[in-house]
A and B are shown apart, each in its own frame.
Chain A
């Protein structure tokens, strides 16, 4: 059975370009999380959706970042314009139920490099 699917797996772009990361959660899961992982800051929760509604976006760094979940099977994280400091691995995770305390299933991540 398919786990959380993320695309692309690797993205290299130039500063100022728009970047869109995509995530397909596990079927039947109704919570979705976006994380960023860097050496300096470790793993940080960016935003969390429940039933396609953003519940907590307090971790979104700034207005350049936006996330959407138009339906239960798809979510995007967009960075516009991108900056070198956005370089990181971005993970999407999904879970059953509401709340970060439930077991989260992580995708393989998207490694973003902004030159």
Chain B
């Protein structure tokens, strides 16, 4: 069965420091993987997606994620956090067998 696990429910970093949001997936098939961001009282917005091309995927707002098949991971990173990055982040998996599955979300807080 397909699943997505976001390892941290809450991450807090200082402004200007790196961000790491962790995501592990399990799937019998090669999934497509996504990161979406949700700002308070807003809908989700796509940050980036992996669809079996380059394993390092660059997204909007300086975010990137690396697909590591050996570790079944798709962690989201950003070199330097900005106050506007404070939001909820969702790792999402899709496969033709199991459809779309959202992780439980990671709330990112940025300290001034």
Contacts and interface: CB of A to CB of B under 8 A. Distances in A.
Interface of A: 3-4, 42-45, 56, 58, 91, 93, 100-101, 103-109
| Those 6 A-B pairs whose CB atoms lie nearest each other, nearest first | A106-B43, A43-B102, A100-B100, A106-B44, A101-B32, A103-B46
A106 to B, nearest CB: 3
- Majority-rule SS of B interface residues: strand
Contacts of A4: 43
A93 B43 contact: yes
B43 A107 contact: yes
Interface of B: 32, 41-46, 49, 51, 90, 94, 99-100, 102-105
Contacts of A93: 43-44
29 contacts: A3-B43, A4-B43, A42-B103, A42-B104, A42-B105, A43-B102, A43-B105, A44-B102, A45-B100, A58-B99, A91-B43, A93-B43, A93-B44, A100-B94, A100-B99, A100-B100, A101-B32, A101-B49, A101-B51, A101-B94, A103-B46, A104-B44, A104-B46, A106-B42, A106-B43, A108-B42, A108-B43, A109-B42, A109-B43
A42 B49 CA distance: 20
Contacts of A43: 44, 90, 102, 105
Given A43-B44, A91-B44, 20 more contacts: A4-B43, A42-B103, A42-B104, A42-B105, A43-B102, A44-B102, A93-B43, A93-B44, A100-B99, A101-B32, A101-B100, A103-B49, A104-B46, A105-B43, A106-B44, A107-B43, A108-B41, A109-B41, A109-B42, A109-B43
A107 B42 CA distance: 7
A106 B45 contact: yes
A42 B45 CA distance: 16
Contacts of A104: 44, 46
Nearest to A6: B43
B40 to A, nearest CB: 11
A4 B34 CA distance: 20
